[in-house]
Structure 1
């Protein structure tokens, strides 16, 4: 997320709070409830170059968010209960379910004690290749490569170019240039280039899954907690929409089978990697249904209402973002007001 965009969102959250819009609009905009998205929960290390900061929140902020949800009258529910309320089209109190993508160890160490304290059920969506330590986490490898480099040589489609990376500002500019150019193209090229850049800087691309993600024995221990459900998140964490249907189907089905074999229970819920419209669409929602998942979640922002009963494998979520760790941001996200305003803006501009 660019600095300008980040500042705009911070200002919007503060403004909604200042004028009391969250309280005034919440009854009409929050729907039946919501599913939260998180990745890392860990103490901030203060690094100056952190392009993936949006994917990590501090433990104190998660505690604040769940405490605020309690104060605002939300029920903490399992994913099955959330789906039941959506199908019924009613919920006496708004509900909230917490989800974590990828299977990071800090979720066990930092987030789980907070969930227990609040009595908040959660679903952990596990990429089976991460649990086995056999798949690269390319966005972390790219960050680490740029953090270590003083200059990067790369061909992003207009011939070979050299990008300076000596300062945090230069690293941010290089990240934006490389990340979005690779995201827009074939995933094979994205992974090849990020692996190459990492290896050139002496970084093992597989080290991130090995060092940061829970192994099967750790996941087995976490899965024994009555608050925790384990869901599937593919094998190699691909953007499914970029691949043929047979590849997408295999990624979904094989991750489910790997988790079933390792943990002794078959996952009933699924999360699309990356999860926006560039990464998962109608074909993938249909595949998740055909494979037999009870639900599948995207990263498209929004709350749940009765209309989602017809599309349980295309559910929106609300991200707790590392750039916005304030009470005002929590109140806005729980109210649903920002998403209602975004929908209204799309209708006005003819983009709905």
Structure 2
């Protein structure tokens, strides 16, 4: 109820019409690099993307980029991020999962603003497999016996965290074992209908001359790196990298699936992934980078609600102020 109330207040005309003076915005975000996460960009998202709040309508995405452009934010390229010698406040745009709306809707908007972006791919989608994240999400929501299957496999380790977020701990091995014992074809049909079509290799190839677009590693299957064995993780990263190395815009930059601190990565996973040749590691803690962007790179998602340019900038300012306040309290 409180969340709905706050959304209603944020979307109200008086709030959306508040214009922060540009000097105040630049003062709040003077040393900030905004590393943004997007997934799908569509006016007709799949049920999966809509249900999990992973879709931005093209107009919403365009409004956010236009707001940042008008406010004087510097749009970083990959080279800028590597060198670190760009002016701030700055923004770097990232996507996960290679959804079709990235190619059909996001790229024209990015080109209009001269904005660079990297899309972290799970090549299993482009290869035609059922998307692991969509599969485990659907099973957890629709098959109680799947959660019982996970609980039995984990035994005493099936704690409150796993019970509250079972999809994070549904490894590919456990998921495939469940499908082997059930109606795999019917389940996969339901999941494909829920997730919709994924981005295709043909779409990637159609844009391979664009210098503003690059692709990174999101593992082949999108399994939670902290839940699988080091051997599986290394194979998952390497298999995906083989596909990326065949692309003119492929990189050795890596984004953790799900990306949540502690639950989805740790020092052991960092070591495995770096040993696979990955040069930059991204997570999804929701933090804004201040100062140098090195080590583990923080990303955050933006509101999917329709908003004005000034409303989006107000949201950013509040987010930055809240982060600085929390940091001071922690000190």
TM above 0.5, yes or no, is yes
SS of residue paired to 2:299: strand
- For 1:344, the equivalent position in structure 2 comes to 325
Over aligned residue pairs, what C-alpha RMSD do you find?
Answer: 4.0
- For 2:235, the equivalent position in structure 1 comes to 250
The C-alpha deviation readout for 1:276-310, integer Å capped at 9, x for no partner, is: 1111223233333333333221111222333432x
Q: Is the 8 A contact 2:283 2:298 kept in 1?
A: yes
Change (3 A) 1:273 1:45: closer
Q: How far does residue 75 in structure 1 lie from its aligned partner after superposition?
A: 1.7
Change (3 A) 1:286 1:107: same
**Aligned pairs for 1:77-226 within 5 A:** 77-85=76-84, 88=85, 91-139=86-134, 142=137, 153-154=144-145, 156=147, 180-183=164-167, 185-188=169-172, 189=174, 203-205=189-191, 212-226=197-211
Q: Please give the alpha-carbon distance, in whole angstroms, between the structure 2 residues aligned to 1:329 and 1:282.
A: 38
Residues 1:70 and 2:69 aligned together: yes
Q: How far does residue 133 in structure 1 lie from its aligned partner after superposition?
A: 1.0
TM-score normalised by structure 2 residue count: 0.77
Q: How far does residue 238 in structure 1 lie from its aligned partner after superposition?
A: 0.8
Q: How far does residue 37 in structure 1 lie from its aligned partner after superposition?
A: 0.7
Change (3 A) 1:202 1:100: closer
Q: Please give the alpha-carbon distance, in whole angstroms, between the structure 1 residues aligned to 2:9 and 2:266.
A: 31
- For 1:166, the equivalent position in structure 2 comes to none
Q: How far does residue 252 in structure 1 lie from its aligned partner after superposition?
A: 1.7
TM-score normalised by structure 1 residue count: 0.73
- For 2:35, the equivalent position in structure 1 comes to 35
Q: Is the 8 A contact 2:149 2:178 kept in 1?
A: no
Change (3 A) 1:46 1:93: same
SS of residue paired to 2:207: helix
SS of residue paired to 2:51: coil
Q: What are the ranges of 5 or more consecutive residues in structure 1 without an aligned counterpart?
A: 161-177
- For 1:321, the equivalent position in structure 2 comes to 303
- For 1:269, the equivalent position in structure 2 comes to 253
Change (3 A) 1:58 1:37: same
Change (3 A) 1:93 1:214: same
Q: Please give the alpha-carbon distance, in whole angstroms, between the structure 1 residues aligned to 2:27 and 2:107.
A: 30
Q: How far does residue 145 in structure 1 lie from its aligned partner after superposition?
A: 9.6
Q: What are the ranges of 5 or more consecutive residues in structure 2 without an aligned counterpart?
A: 152-161
Q: How far does residue 94 in structure 1 lie from its aligned partner after superposition?
A: 2.0
Change (3 A) 1:50 1:40: closer
Q: Is the 8 A contact 1:299 1:318 kept in 2?
A: yes
Change (3 A) 1:51 1:302: same
SS of residue paired to 1:114: helix
Aligned length: 316
Q: Is the 8 A contact 1:141 1:205 kept in 2?
A: no
The C-alpha deviation readout for 1:65-88, integer Å capped at 9, x for no partner, is: 111111100122212213322xx4
Which of 279, 283, 307 does residue 298 from structure 1 map onto? Answer: 283
Q: Please give the alpha-carbon distance, in whole angstroms, between the structure 2 residues aligned to 1:202 and 1:284.
A: 30
- For 1:175, the equivalent position in structure 2 comes to none
Q: Please give the alpha-carbon distance, in whole angstroms, between the structure 2 residues aligned to 1:304 and 1:243.
A: 29
